[in-house]
Amino acid sequence: MIEADAINWAHDAHAGVTTDTVAYSNPVFKLGVDGATDIEAAWTPWASVRTHDAGGTTTLSGTGDVVLRVKHRLTRANAGFSIALVPYVKIPVARAGIGNGHWEGGVVAGTNIVLTPSLLLTFAPEIDFLADRNDSGRHHVQTQQTINLGKSITPQLMFYGELWTAQNFDPAGTIRQYAADAALAWVVRPDLQLDIGANFGLNRFTPATQTYLGISARF
């Protein structure tokens, strides 16, 4: 299976600095091992980071980091309550300014609860081990939480509303981020899905807006 963004654009403006980040394609390749497990690889073939401040405008471009994941479902297929663990590791192959040059990793615990035939509630608590901002070579903890409610509009069309937060406990100072997100997913046919969505930052430490167009294809 391949999941990819046709384009993913994030805009942020803070303290007189405006940053626009565009990721092109941004695919995730998934290979099923059995009915409960798959292995995944994510990589951005090309990204552009444009920064504007009082001193002028700079643009950095290049490939992104590689992220390897394993997803394993702990519950039976098609259960009303399901949970999966997704450990991951980031391989630092991106240039400075696109990536931070450090190995990082973490684990996500994705939980789905079928509330009604047309309502799906998802929780995705996550713990990350990130490199310290002072480039000391040490790592610290970040926690994330996603609460997502999906509503079937038609058998082929799904609307998602979501709240997201990240708490980054860097020794240099904790950064707290919050966002409200919305998306539409259209199942064109059983093996093809199109997505469109937008994320809206709720505080000054979160990118103000992020929009994307996506496609998922199963082979």
Q: Can you give the pTM of this predicted structure?
A: 0.92
CATH number of the domain bearing residue 204: 2.40.160.40
**How far, in Å, CA of 45 to CA of 23, rounded?**
8
Average pLDDT over residues 52-68: 94
Q: Of 148, 101, 100, 108, which is closest to residue 128 (Cα–Cα)?
A: 108
Q: How many domains does the chain have?
A: 1
Decide if pLDDT at 16 tops 90: no
Residue 8 is part of which domain span?
Answer: 2-217
Each residue's pLDDT tens digit, 137-160:
899 999 999 999 999 999 999 999
According to the model, what pLDDT value does residue 142 have? 98
Residue with tokens 């384009």: 7
pLDDT at 114 over 90: yes
Residues 6+ apart with CB under 8 A from 2: 27, 28, 29, 30, 216, 217, 219
Over residues 169-180, the pLDDT tens digits come to 999 999 999 999
Per-residue pLDDT tens over the stretch 70-111:
999 999 988 999 999 999 999 999 998 899 999 999 999 999
**CA-wise closest residue to 168 among 202, 201, 198, 145:** 145
Output the pLDDT for position 15.
Answer: 80
